[in-house]
Amino acid sequence: MKQPTVISTFAGCGGSSLGYKLAGFRELLAVEWDNNAVETFKMNFPDIPVYHDDIAKLSGAECMKLAGIGTGELDVLDGSPPCQGFSMAGKRKFNDPRNSLFREFARLLKELQPHMFVMENVTGMVKGYMKQTYLTIIAELRACGYRCKGEVLNAMYFNVPQSRERVIIIGVRNDSRIDPGHPKPQSRPILLKTALCGVNNDAENRFVKGFLAEYAEKHPGGWNTDNDIYKKIKGNLAGAISTKWCEWDRVCGTLPKSEISTTGIIHPDKNRYLSLSEMKRITSFPDNFKFTDRHHGIERIGNSVPPKLMQAIAGHIKTEILEKIK
């Protein structure tokens, strides 16, 4: 079989792209509009062409021209449409305009007609009243000519030292006669002490100060902040829900995409926040992956698909679907 091909939409800094690369894919084009994400992507993938603009402006014809392919020739169209409108961490607005970006993905899918697609999003889209949106997405993807199957996968079972659940929708073009499927768990959860062994910490470590340092001395353990202790020290609960606490003998929880004021992920020693180097380890980015700075690096990591999770998905679809199609 020839080296399988992929186009990555909503590519971000390249978490998915790295996963496909590790699984032996050749990426023909990345589509991304955020300036820092594009800058980061180009630092790490200098040989992959990037369409740096709004995906709504990209026609299927131009996309194929940039990638050097014709209709039906691409193996995989990959995409992680922005998920803030679905996220359990947000207000989960049904009519959030960000929820409609999947239609741009579906539009390109219909025009390109790749052998298959992979679409990733947060689990909030399949919970409660938001499930109707999920069913709408599935219906629209099927209308493009694909058999689809969605499944919740937790990255911690795919060699990622982080508990991070994501909905992975895999679709196979109707004429292939092969049903979509997902990879089985590949690893046991990796404890933080194992993940951070030998890490080279950044010089820009951010230390815990003020009331949070006082709280750290009384933290009873666990990932979440104890609201009663926190409020007693600070006087209010502002920032409590966004401040998490790592422990050496546990798997790290899901890293957010930002640090605001005193919020963030606290190192097990409780005297500082996690460094960017540690965050890369926890999300399965290699130590030599480049980010422009800490602030943007945290944002890029928080918005990315963990590379090792995508490597598992890409490896599965390569052997279980694409090799059987061709």
Residues labelled as active-site residues: 83
Residue 255 near residue 264, CB atoms below 8 Å:
no
Q: Is the Cβ–Cβ distance between 202 and 295 less than 8 Å?
A: no
Q: For residue 206, what are the contacts with CB-CB under 8 A and spacing of at least 6?
A: 259, 264, 272, 273, 275, 294
Which secondary structure element, helix H or strand E, spans residue 38, and what is its range?
Answer: helix 35-44
Which regions of 130-220 does DSSP assign to beta strands (E)? 146-154, 165-173
| Helix-strand-coil split of the chain, %, nearest 5 | 40, 15, 45
Query: CA-to-CA distance for 17 and 13, rounded, in angstroms?
Result: 8
> Whole-angstrom Cα distance, residue 106 to residue 137?
9
Instruction: Give the whole-angstrom CA distance, residue 317 versus residue 183.
Output: 8
- Residue 118: which H helix or E strand, with range? strand 116-122
Contact criterion met (CB below 8 Å) for 22 and 286:
no
